């Protein structure tokens, strides 16, 4: 009864919600009373003070956020590398040479179709400019943000520095690029090239990626460069990485490589190892379906990959592998649809352009095949595989001068690819470019003298290239 009588009477004590509401609704009245009691000059002074404070604080906040985001997404930064006077005269200043090397690393990343997130390298000049223009107070700079990231995010920012030097070797000028990691001054790369600045940057960019992200580099060597031995060497490093994510994708690449070597059971076991790392599972199903296809278990492969596409419809690689299965089993029509879908989802999928061109040519659509390769060179202009295929397409159409230009670019990007250098030697010989042909043939002879062997399918072409011409016999 007491409770009922109390509940029937109004509660004279205000609840916390009522107190909060009264304070909130009273604020506008208080602000209005304060403002209305102030003179115009006083209000002007308050506004001016507020603007001055915001002008000092806001740039610092903006600069801090920009630098933080940049370093989190670009954990490797490169200070301007020093260059010799000859490079300066050719337009490669310290800043320009640094940017060209960064561009080359970006180019290599762009041709990688591996599922693992890429490792990006940034320019410290950009961060310095942000710090100088935005962080006017001097309370914070890029180095301070790096320390913050290391402490609170557990992520190290790798700083690189280095130089380019020149030396004479016989009658050639040899350029040397050295990059070091600081602090500690550990030498990351030390490469030489006699092919000019572009060849040096191409070689330096690839060597740097090998040290920073061996799994991505291994994938590029295997998929795009056709260099299985180098890929295996780098993969052995990635497989013992302390980073589980790197290990996961390294095992996935190993599954593909084992399948190509005919070790299907080992490939399937490696694919299951990928699955054990958790996370997204489309890479494991991709490699499993690939191995099953090479084992000619097409029905099993299709069952795996159709489910993979259903689960990950927006992942370009699932459609690409499905197209590959259809093509291998003779279903060219569905393969074309899958390759086009993969390209739609990822316009820089070089492998899809190459496969699409091949299957279109098999169906008799030579114009469509050429169009696919032309589009591929536009989307991935620095992909040696696409360039090589496009050059062969040009040779079929008797456009030898254009084929020569494309192969020269491909050889600059990937000078160790047997298919590219053999094709380039053949084209230069056919065009009667004696000096250019002799230079490429000398490279081939040098590699043979060092114990290298061309792929079996190229041996006959190599023998023909090296055969003395009738006038020299």
Question: Is 259 in contact with 235 (CB distance < 8 Å)?
Answer: no
Question: Which residue do the tokens 């801090």 mark?
Answer: 64
- State the DSSP string of 386-438: HHHHHHHHHHHTT-HHHHHHHHHHHHHH-TT-HHHHHHHHHHHHHHT-HHHHH
The encoded tokens of residue 155 equal 């992520």
pTM of the model: 0.72
Q: Which residue has the higher pLDDT, 106 or 56?
A: 106
The mean-pLDDT minimum among 159-163, 182-186, 313-317, 325-329 falls in 182-186
Looking only at the bridges linking them, the beta strands covering 158-169 and 76-78 are parallel
Q: What is the sign of the dihedral through the CA atoms of 365, 366, 370 and 371?
A: negative
- Cα separation, 445 vs 435, in Å, equals 15
- Cα separation, 33 vs 20, in Å, equals 20
65-69, 85-89, 419-423, 464-468, range with greatest mean pLDDT: 419-423
Q: How many residues does the chain have?
A: 473
**Cα-based distances in Å from 471 to 441, 450, 467:** 17, 28, 12
Q: Does residue 458 register a pLDDT over 50?
A: yes
Mean pLDDT of 279-302: 95
Return the bridge partners of 77, or none: 122, 159
For 102, phi then psi, to 5°, come to: -65, -40
Q: For residue 220, what pLDDT band results from cuts at 50, 70 and 90?
A: confident
DSSP state of 118: P
pLDDT in tens, 11-28: 444 555 555 455 445 556
């Amino acid at each position: 009864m007491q409770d009922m009588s109390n509940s029937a009477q109004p509660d004279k004590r205000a609840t916390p919600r009522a107190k909060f509401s009264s304070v909130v609704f009273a604020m506008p009245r208080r602000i209005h009373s304060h403002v209305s009691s102030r003179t115009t000059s006083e209000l002007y002074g308050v506004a001016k003070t507020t603007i001055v404070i915001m002008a000092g604080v806001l740039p610092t906040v903006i600069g801090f956020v920009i630098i933080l985001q940049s370093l989190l997404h670009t954990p490797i930064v490169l200070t301007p590398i020093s260059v010799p006077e000859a490079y300066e005269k050719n337009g490669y200043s310290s800043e320009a040479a640094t940017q060209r090397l960064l561009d080359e690393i970006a180019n290599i990343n762009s041709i990688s179709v591996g599922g693992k997130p890429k490792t990006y390298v940034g320019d410290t000049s950009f961060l310095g400019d942000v710090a100088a223009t935005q962080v006017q107070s001097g309370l914070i700079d890029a180095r301070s943000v790096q320390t913050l990231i290391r402490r609170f995010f557990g992520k190290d920012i790798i700083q690189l520095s280095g130089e380019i030097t020149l030396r004479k070797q016989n009658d050639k000028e040899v350029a040397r690029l050295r990059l070091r990691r600081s602090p500690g001054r550990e030498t990351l790369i030390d490469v030489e090239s006699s092919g000019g600045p572009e060849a040096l940057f191409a070689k330096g960019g690839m060597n740097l990626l090998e040290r920073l992200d061996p799994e991505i580099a291994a994938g590029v060597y295997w998929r795009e460069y056709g260099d299985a031995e180098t890929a295996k060497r780098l993969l052995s490093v990635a497989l013992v990485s302390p980073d589980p994510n790197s290990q996961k994708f390294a095992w996935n690449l190993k599954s593909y490589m084992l399948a190509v070597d005919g070790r299907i059971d080992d490939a399937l076991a490696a694919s299951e190892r990928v699955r054990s790392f958790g996370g997204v599972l489309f890479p494991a199903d991709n490699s499993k379906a690939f191995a099953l296809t090479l084992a000619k278990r097409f029905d099993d492969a299709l069952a795996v990959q159709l489910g993979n596409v259903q689960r990950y419809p927006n992942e370009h690689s699932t459609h690409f592998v499905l197209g590959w299965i259809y093509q291998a089993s003779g279903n060219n029509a569905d393969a074309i649809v899958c390759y086009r879908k993969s390209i739609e989802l990822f316009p820089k999928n070089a492998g899809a352009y190459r496969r699409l061109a091949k299957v279109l040519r098999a169906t008799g659509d030579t114009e469509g095949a050429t169009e696919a390769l032309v589009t591929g060179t536009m989307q991935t202009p620095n992909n040696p595989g696409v360039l090589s295929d496009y050059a062969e397409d040009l040779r079929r159409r008797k456009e030898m001068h254009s084929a020569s230009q494309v192969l020269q670019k491909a050889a600059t990007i990937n000078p160790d690819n047997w298919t590219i250098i053999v094709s380039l030697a053949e084209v230069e010989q056919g065009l009667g470019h004696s000096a250019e042909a002799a230079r490429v043939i000398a490279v081939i002879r040098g590699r043979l003298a060092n114990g290298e062997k061309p792929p079996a399918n190229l041996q006959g072409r190599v023998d023909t290239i090296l055969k003395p011409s009738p006038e020299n016999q």
